[in-house]
Amino acid sequence: MSHSPISHSEAPMLSTSSFDPARLAGEYLTFRLGAEEYAIGILKVQEIRSYEEPTRIANAPPFVKGVTNLRGVIVPIVDLRLKLNCPEAEFGPSTVVVVLNVGDLIVGVIVDAVSDVVDLQAGHIKAAPAMAHTAEGSFISGIASVQTEGKERTLVLIDIENLLAGTGLSTIARQ
């Protein structure tokens, strides 16, 4: 048996032996943060809105830009660049908020630009590298490779529930 770089304390995290690409197959909304492309399951997406400055909330984590009122629902707005430890960037004309259904919460995530919707087959999806299976990396459900207009694209598949777990967003939404 080969030794994994993952410690026993991290054993409950996703491992390649339990990785099931068929479970991840389906349609994904793809978006950019800097030069990297990410994807979220399309069934989580409620709508895509242009970016408008949210109302700030005192004592919120730095990645929470504030809240907005979306047809009577208070929606926390998360800057995915900050949550994923990406370099900060200026918001531009292509910056949008993707409104997602995450468990029993509606949350908006700020992304640099939405690319498209792709239909990923199991054969497109590979397990994330072992370094992504730390507590900080447990939000990566897989890595997909797709061809679009003759170009190879690599997509990081985001498990949005794991990414936002324990962030206190439900408390912010109730304020």
Of residues 66 and 104, the one with the higher pLDDT is 66
Asked whether the predicted pLDDT for residue 7 surpasses 50, the reply is no
* Domains, the chain, with CATH or none: 25-174 (2.40.50.180)
Tens of pLDDT along 48-85?
Answer: 999 999 999 998 999 999 999 999 999 999 999 999 88
pLDDT confidence bin for 104, thresholds 50/70/90: confident
CA distances for 5 relative to 55, 125, 134, angstroms = 43, 22, 10
Asked whether the predicted pLDDT for residue 17 surpasses 60, the reply is no
Asked whether the predicted pLDDT for residue 98 surpasses 70, the reply is yes
pLDDT confidence bin for 175, thresholds 50/70/90: low
pLDDT attached to residue 103: 85
Return left, alpha or beta for 60; rule: phi > 0 is left, psi -120 to 50 is alpha, else beta: beta
Q: State the pairing for strand pair 36-41/151-158.
A: parallel
pLDDT attached to residue 174: 57
Cut 0.85: pTM above it: no
Chain position carrying tokens 């998360």 = 78
Asked whether the predicted pLDDT for residue 12 surpasses 50, the reply is no
pLDDT attached to residue 160: 92
Angstrom distance (rounded) from CA 115 to CA 144: 15
Q: Is 134 helix (H, G, I), strand (E, B) or coil?
A: coil
Asked whether the predicted pLDDT for residue 86 surpasses 70, the reply is yes
CA distances for 172 relative to 1, 45, 51, 90, 158, angstroms = 46, 20, 19, 25, 22
- Work out the mean pLDDT of the chain and round it to a whole number: 84
Q: Which two tokens stand for residue 64?
A: 């929470």
The H-or-E segment that residue 168 falls in is none
pLDDT attached to residue 6: 35
**What mean pLDDT comes out for the span 24-50?**
96
Contact 125, 25 (CB under 8 A): yes
